[in-house]
């Protein structure tokens, strides 16, 4: 029981350090959180942890502003494998149809972790996008959105995808949301990983 609690605390520390170090641009320490085979899935990027660092740094240099805030977590551990779900928000600021806006997306980080040399490392981070909204930074501004483009994206991250598309990113359109086959497949994948290690 004591070791299980220690493992959960260590996993939570990995998750919290991810948000703090990534948003602070502490790339050297951020890199230590990733498993050598670690992968990041996001609306705008899918690839290795190492590649994620490089594209995030490039985005920073081009003025991309994305921040994260964490809430409660549920962590399941089986030996050297773990699956964690953590409530989170993604906040992105950028121009939408010529108007500076904030998009806030609420969801969960669904993480696959492996214990390597007594450290819990991220093997796969797959966000689940539950709902989002867009607000103008100036309260009197009223950007006119392209309704047809907006409707192309899943409801869980519709406005986030719209902003990211408008600033030049190619957005993945089949990410897990609150309900549906994509999130059910993710849950099944998590159960399989915990049981057998298959990812």
E strand segments, 79-118? 81-96, 99-116
C-beta separation of 72 from 192 below 8 A? no
In whole angstroms, give the CA distance from residue 10 to residue 116. Answer: 12
Question: Average pLDDT of the chain?
Answer: 97
Q: 160 Cβ partners below 8 Å, 6+ apart?
A: 43, 90, 92, 103, 105, 129, 132
| CA neighbor of 110 nearest in space, from 32, 39, 159 | 39
| Range 192-198 average pLDDT | 94
Burial of residue 129 (CB within 10 Å: 0-12, 13-18, 19+) is buried
Q: Across the beta sheet with 119-136, what order do the strands follow?
A: 46-48, 34-41, 119-136, 99-116, 81-96, 65-78
Under the banding of pLDDT at 50, 70 and 90, the label for residue 199 is confident
C-alpha span between 151 and 161 (Å, rounded): 10
- Kindly state the average pLDDT of the residues 140-161: 96
Pick among 3.40.50.720, 2.40.50.140, 3.40.47.10, 3.10.450.50: CATH of 2-181: 3.10.450.50
pLDDT, tens digit, 9 for 90 and up, residues 43-88:
999 999 999 999 999 999 999 999 999 999 999 999 999 999 999 9
Element (H, E) at 38: strand 34-41
Q: What is the pLDDT of residues 8-49, one digit of tens each?
A: 999 999 999 999 999 999 999 999 999 999 999 999 999 999
Classify 183 as helix, strand or coil.
Answer: helix
């Amino acid at each position: 029981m004591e070791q299980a609690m220690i493992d959960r605390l260590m996993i939570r520390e990995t998750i919290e350090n991810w948000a703090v170090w990534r948003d602070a641009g502490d790339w050297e320490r951020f890199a230590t959180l990733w498993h050598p085979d670690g992968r990041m899935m996001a609306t705008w990027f899918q690839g290795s942890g190492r590649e994620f660092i490089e594209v995030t740094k490039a985005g920073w240099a081009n003025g991309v502003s994305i921040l994260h805030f964490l809430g409660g977590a549920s962590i399941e551990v089986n030996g050297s494998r773990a699956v964690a779900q953590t409530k989170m928000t993604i906040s992105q600021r950028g121009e939408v149809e010529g108007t500076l806006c904030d998009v806030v997306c609420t969801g969960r980080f669904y993480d696959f972790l492996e214990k390597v040399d007594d450290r819990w490392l991220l093997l796969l981070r797959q966000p689940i996008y539950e709902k989002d909204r867009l607000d103008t930074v100036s309260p009197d501004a009223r950007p006119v959105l392209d309704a047809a483009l907006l409707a192309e994206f899943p409801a869980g991250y519709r406005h986030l995808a719209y902003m990211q598309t408008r600033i030049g990113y190619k957005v993945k359109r089949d990410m897990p949301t609150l309900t549906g086959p994509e999130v059910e497949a993710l849950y099944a994948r998590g159960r399989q990983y915990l049981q057998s290690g298959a990812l």
